[in-house]
Amino acid sequence: MILVTGGAGFIGANFVLDWLRQTDEPVLNLDKLTYAGNPENLASLQGDSRYVFVKGDIGDSSLVEKLLTQYAPRAVLNFAAESHVDRSIHGPEDFIQTNVVGTMRLLQSVRSYWQGLPESERADFRFLHVSTDEVYGSLSPTDAAFTETNKLEPNSPYSASKAASDHLVRAWLHTYGLPVLTTNCSNNYGPLHFPEKLIPLLIVNALAGKPLPVYGDGLQVRDWLYVKDHCSAIRRVLAAGKVGEVYNVGGWNEKPNIEIVHTVCSLLDELRPRSDGALYKTQVTYVQDRPGHDRRYAIDAGKIERELGWKPAETFDSGIRKTVQWYLDNPDWVAHVQSGAYREWVQTNYTRRS
């Protein structure tokens, strides 16, 4: 069995679903079910004996230790995190509590469990920490893409909390010998993405006839990674990654945000035209930029390809088409995640920018 933390969120849920499509090895999913943790993401696993769900916090050491003892996983994959930059600007304490304190407590619980394993099982055990390219800071237009040797220079409360968690994972390797792996990914997109992030927000707002908010000039550049490619990379790192190594996972798809906006609009024009015949791009609205908005991220994913033979299967064109189609095909899921709390957040974040 493997233990996945945060497995009801966007990336975690996609990972759990893909894992159980690929293998019969059971999954224990520990998720606190905050606003972005959605049990409906995993509804298809109801009644599946390979899947066990426990609602709980990675910072609850007594619970985590009990689960480790009861289920004896061979690996722990830590997806659990607060992950939205804008939310971290409004409320940084939640990010410190989950991403820093929670990761530290999880590491302590896992270390205690690992040290009690028989020698052969201890050698095979892995702790895989899922992180982000945002820990590296911001690049100029001419800078080389981030490699695993870039120093960490986080610029938002979110990225600072993730950088801190990355340091903790490294420290538990060097101080205690815990066999850890770390992945730093670029911007994920795809099915089950909570609609506060750019691509799902664009789709949801466009279909509802609402403005499509673009921060600043829209020329911020990101590398885009289809979520199922990210999941396949994590599986590969877990299977063959070298203990203590960091692996950058990217899609080789650097694009400015405004290009993403126009691509989504064009796909919706094709797949779900507006009833009035107008183009969706007429809904684009430029709003006040995010404070301290990093200008460019870019991932060099050469190491994971050279050493582990992994590269993304999807191009951006194929991945974004699949993503838009998924949202069009799943209106009930979209409606269910747009709770009162979600509407209040959108009001808080975007009304003041308009």
Any bridge partners for residue 276, and if so which?
Answer: none
Q: 82, 134, 196, 229: which one is catalytic?
A: 134
Active site residue 133: yes
Contact at 8 Å (CB) between 196 and 346?
Answer: yes
Active site residue 158: yes
Q: 31, 82, 86, 133: which one is catalytic?
A: 133
What is each CA distance from 178 to 12, 63, 118, 283, 326, in whole angstroms? 22, 20, 14, 51, 39
- Catalytic residues, by residue number, are 133-134, 158
